[in-house]
């Protein structure tokens, strides 16, 4: 059974979608798919997701523990899995993600896959930046990306000991 539910967050409304027990989408307001395509509205189906997002925005959570099932190509799936390895308060470049998945020549394709990530914030595509360190390309808009990175950086000193570089947790296939 598929469900959806809209929540309010500090970065604007977010629509969550789910198929069975797995989250399939966390869409910022400008990216919401047609709701008739994502099932029935049900607040109870999203209790864990809502709680964990509230904890994230309150600065109490640095890692999500949710079943995820984003729909995408095998390449997109590899990129999205690599995004999960970019720790809270950290950033990585498109090139670093490309190297992490064993496709060092594919930084532009990584950028395209990053832009198609259907599970914003939880699959942290906002942590991916340009090689120069510039904030580039965020489907939710650069002001949101800047806000999310600033939010995480204010929480970072308390959690720095738990962070690992992407190369420690993401190995190429």
* Residue bearing tokens 């969550």: 16
Around Cβ 105, how many Cβ atoms within 10 Å? Answer: 9
* Options 125, 128, 149, 170, the catalytic residue: 125
Taking the C-alpha atoms of residue 71 and residue 20, their distance in angstroms, rounded to an integer, is 14
- Is 170 among the residues known to form the active site? no
SS3 (DSSP) at 21: coil
C-alpha distances (whole Å) from 39 to each of 3, 12, 24, 70, 166 are 5, 22, 12, 15, 35
Q: Report the catalytic residues.
A: 125
């Amino acid at each position: 059974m598929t469900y959806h539910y809209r929540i309010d967050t500090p970065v604007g409304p977010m629509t969550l979608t789910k198929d069975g027990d797995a989250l399939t989408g966390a869409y910022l307001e400008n990216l919401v798919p047609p709701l008739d395509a994502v099932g029935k509205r049900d607040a109870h189906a999203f209790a864990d997701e809502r709680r964990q997002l509230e904890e994230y925005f309150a600065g109490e959570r640095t890692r999500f523990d949710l079943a995820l099932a984003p729909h995408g190509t095998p390449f997109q799936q590899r990129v999205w899995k690599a995004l999960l390895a970019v720790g809270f308060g950290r950033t990585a470049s498109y090139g670093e993600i490309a190297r992490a998945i064993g496709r060092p020549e594919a930084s532009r394709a990584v950028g395209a896959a990053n832009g198609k990530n259907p599970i914003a914030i939880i699959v942290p595509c906002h942590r991916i930046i340009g090689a120069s360190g510039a904030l580039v390309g965020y489907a939710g808009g650069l002001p949101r990306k800047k806000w999310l990175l600033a939010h995480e950086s204010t929480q970072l000193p308390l959690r720095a000991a738990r962070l690992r570089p992407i190369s420690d947790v993401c190995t190429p296939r």
